[in-house]
Structure 1
Amino acid sequence: MSKSFNKANSNIDLSLFTIKTEESKEEMAKNSNNSIVKIDTFDEMDSRNIKIEHAIKILNQQWRLSGLRPRTIDSYNYNFKRFVEVTDVEYLHEINNEKIYQYLSSFENVKDTSLQGRLKQIKAVLSKCHDNGWYNSKFWKNIKIKVNTSVKEATTEKELALLLSLLDKSTYSGLRDSIAILLLYKTGIRIKTLGALREQNIDFDNRLLKLQGEIMKAHRPLILPLDDEMCTLLRELISINDGVRKEHREKNDYIFLSNIGVPISNTVSPSNLIAKNLWVYSKKWNLKNVNPHSIRRLYAQNLVKRGADINLVSHALAHADISTTSIYLGLNVNLVARNLREFL
């Protein structure tokens, strides 16, 4: 590895980076503190006796013990803290629908989807309070924000092929990003999972990608097949990584590294170096729709085109609910239900 120009010393077959498109090459070229707190419990769970500050401490402990992701916990805390500041409430019994509407009204020039997300988080916190017996009913359940959900488009093989043709695979970053793009395209994994991949996740003998629950959004393990080309590329990257780590005196077994040998993963945000680079490439080469999510959608749509039913697609995407997959693919939920009835 060259320190000055980040060269990747590799004799890899560049044809492995080919994505089939209908266009010719000529046309394509044209175009918080995690410690457990000690908290006294209440003999009688009465919301009139419970300070919000005290309740949040209990909830944080419960969230951590239940394995909720740190990023989700941080988001709950940030949003609920803002809710308390806006509504000036101190005790749980002071929270009512009027206070929730007051909080939602405090946002100006915010999209309905963003407002819906904030409401969803407030409801999640209050629902946990209800589970703890601090509320007798879910008075907030009928508060809704109507959102017109538009189906986000998948990227295309044409754009991915163009991007792969433009990346300089003689550099470590160019080779790494090319392999990452192909892995996203061929497996549909989330960008957060990609950044968390380690050598133990690759079963080369059986050509499988084995994902443990701790690196999955839904905390459920998943096994996905790999083709020979993908295995060849991953072997090559792992071999090159050894040199990168040795040069920078790093010790880890992550698959996707930065130029100085540290993992690209970010423990707080789902974004990472690959996601940021995809954004840069899109701007640099005027690619309309190339990002981790659009690549994942393309993977899902390709499965359907090849004959996979929605249940299989849902499993491959590690979705917790088939309705999420329906939205993902732009399918009408009622139509899906009618089609599935044929298999009952």
Structure 2
Amino acid sequence: MTKRKGILDVQIDVKNLIGEMSISRNPTQKAKDKKPLLSNDSKLITNALEVITRQMKVSGNRSRTINDYILHVEHFQNVTGVKCVSDITADTIYQWLDSMNVSNQTKLTRLKCLKAFLSRCFDNGWIELKFWKTINIKVDQKVKEGATEHEVNVLLSLLDFGNFIHLRDAVAVLVMFKTGIRINTLVQLEEQHIDLKNNVMNLDGSIMKNHQQIKLPFDDFLKKLLKVLIKQNAVIRREYGKENTLIFITKYGDVISNSPTHNNIQKRLNKYSKVYGLKNINPHALRRGFARTLLDKGANVAVISKALGHSDISVTTKYLYLDVDEVANNLRSFLNI
């Protein structure tokens, strides 16, 4: 289809918005009590994996997560020769880990997947003790920085808000930085999720990784940009005959892929990061920046964890890395010394 000249030119004057660009600183049942889903003589790992896979699909787990389970559990079985769930021991797990010629970080990732499989076996009543809890691999944690207000402002100052793609990308950056949502949630946002009257996103569980509903507020500047983007989206969709109500679409009005390698927005953020020398302009860094901003403004970790949609508060603490001097200074202020 031939693109009409000027279709990507934003039809609404957004020049007056540029001056507003600055961002404000301001109890589970015991396993023995559960009815096993497999008979005592058929607790083969292959059967267990089949049952757990079905459970995960019903629960709405992503295909990628399910495939990781299958891949690593089958690899464990091939390496160790263990056939039954009840024959899995700490020794067989260590045997499996020792067989890998990969980094400790990769081993840890695979171990976590096997542990998750074993935890589901325990929940189904096929294993009596969580013997794998003490098995771990030491990995030097690299500190992942969050995006800063300065970096976000620099990027916004370099983008042309009169161009649809730049406008879309700018709004995407601000949404992630100011609400902390994941990019997979971002590309599923629809107009029904945005309450422009009350400046809040009403996110239902269907687009959230943890499947839990949450409400996330946003400021007036982001509200104005969202209004402009929604109107421009309508222009794009009319031109190409598309009928979705998504907030973030391609220049042809189509759905943006969830895949990191095919996600238009993620690829463009990577490009901006390289071209403009902004190392923390990426989806994870923007979420971390959101978390750090909340912490600096006095929010407690429990609230931050809820806002980020984390199921485990320990994950949140990794987002809020504090160096030793910062910890000492904070302790002094609390202890009045």
Instruction: Return the TM-score normalized by structure 1.
Output: 0.82
Q: Hey, what's the Cα distance between the residues in 2 that align with 1:106 and 1:273? A: 38
Contact 1:301 1:329 in 2 (8 A): yes
**Could you tell me which residue of structure 2 aligns to residue 90 of structure 1?**
83
Does residue 149 (structure 1) correspond to residue 141 (structure 2)? The answer is: yes
- Any idea what the Cα deviations from partners look like across 1:86-127, whole Å, max 9, x if unmatched? 3333333443323322322233242x3332121011011112
**In the alignment, which of 285, 310, 316 is matched to residue 325 of structure 1?**
316
Instruction: Pick closer, same or farther for the CA change 1:21–1:233 going to 2, 3 Å.
Output: closer
Report the 3-state secondary structure (helix = DSSP H, G, I; strand = E; otherwise coil) of the residue aligned with 2:48: helix
Q: Hey, what's the Cα distance between the residues in 2 that align with 1:41 and 1:300? A: 41
Task: Provide the aligned length of Structure 1 versus Structure 2.
Answer: 317
Identical residues among aligned pairs (%): 40
Residue 88 of structure 1 aligns with an amino acid whose one-letter code is G
Instruction: Pick closer, same or farther for the CA change 1:304–1:54 going to 2, 3 Å.
Output: closer
Instruction: Pick closer, same or farther for the CA change 1:41–1:212 going to 2, 3 Å.
Output: closer
Contact 1:196 1:265 in 2 (8 A): no
Q: Hey, what's the Cα distance between the residues in 2 that align with 1:72 and 1:256? A: 25
Instruction: Pick closer, same or farther for the CA change 1:258–1:311 going to 2, 3 Å.
Output: same
**Could you tell me which residue of structure 1 aligns to residue 287 of structure 2?**
296
Instruction: Pick closer, same or farther for the CA change 1:327–1:203 going to 2, 3 Å.
Output: same
Q: Hey, what's the Cα distance between the residues in 2 that align with 1:140 and 1:220? A: 29
Q: Where do 5+ consecutive residues of structure 1 fail to align?
A: 23-39
Judge which range, 101-110 or 193-202, deviates more. 101-110
Instruction: Pick closer, same or farther for the CA change 1:62–1:20 going to 2, 3 Å.
Output: closer
**Could you tell me which residue of structure 2 aligns to residue 312 of structure 1?**
303
**In the alignment, which of 190, 207, 210 is matched to residue 202 of structure 2?**
210
Instruction: Pick closer, same or farther for the CA change 1:2–1:128 going to 2, 3 Å.
Output: same
Q: Hey, what's the Cα distance between the residues in 2 that align with 1:4 and 1:100? A: 61
Residue 101 of structure 1 aligns with an amino acid whose one-letter code is Y
**In the alignment, which of 177, 184, 188 is matched to residue 169 of structure 2?**
177
**Aligned-residue RMSD, C-alpha:** 3.1
**In the alignment, which of 19, 24, 37 is matched to residue 22 of structure 2?**
19
Does residue 259 (structure 1) correspond to residue 254 (structure 2)? The answer is: no
Q: Hey, what's the Cα distance between the residues in 2 that align with 1:103 and 1:269? A: 30
Contact 1:5 1:171 in 2 (8 A): no
**Could you tell me which residue of structure 1 aligns to residue 182 of structure 2?**
190
Q: How far 1:222 sits from its partner (Å)?
A: 0.9
Q: Where do 5+ consecutive residues of structure 2 fail to align?
A: 26-35
Report the 3-state secondary structure (helix = DSSP H, G, I; strand = E; otherwise coil) of the residue aligned with 2:133: coil
Contact 2:8 2:236 in 1 (8 A): no
Instruction: Return the TM-score normalized by structure 2.
Output: 0.83
Q: How far 1:4 sits from its partner (Å)?
A: 6.3
Residue 45 of structure 1 aligns with an amino acid whose one-letter code is N
Report the 3-state secondary structure (helix = DSSP H, G, I; strand = E; otherwise coil) of the residue aligned with 2:131: coil
Report the 3-state secondary structure (helix = DSSP H, G, I; strand = E; otherwise coil) of the residue aligned with 1:210: strand
Listed as ranges, the matches of 1:236-275 within 5 Å are 236-266=228-258, 272-275=263-266
Instruction: Pick closer, same or farther for the CA change 1:130–1:319 going to 2, 3 Å.
Output: closer
**Could you tell me which residue of structure 1 aligns to residue 64 of structure 2?**
71
- Any idea what the Cα deviations from partners look like across 1:19-43, whole Å, max 9, x if unmatched? 3599xxxxxxxxxxxxxxxxx964x
Residue 92 of structure 2 aligns with an amino acid whose one-letter code is K
Contact 1:192 1:271 in 2 (8 A): no
**Could you tell me which residue of structure 2 aligns to residue 7 of structure 1?**
8
- Any idea what the Cα deviations from partners look like across 1:60-97, whole Å, max 9, x if unmatched? 11112233333322221222222223333333344332
Q: How far 1:6 sits from its partner (Å)?
A: 5.9
Contact 2:37 2:124 in 1 (8 A): no
Instruction: Pick closer, same or farther for the CA change 1:13–1:131 going to 2, 3 Å.
Output: same
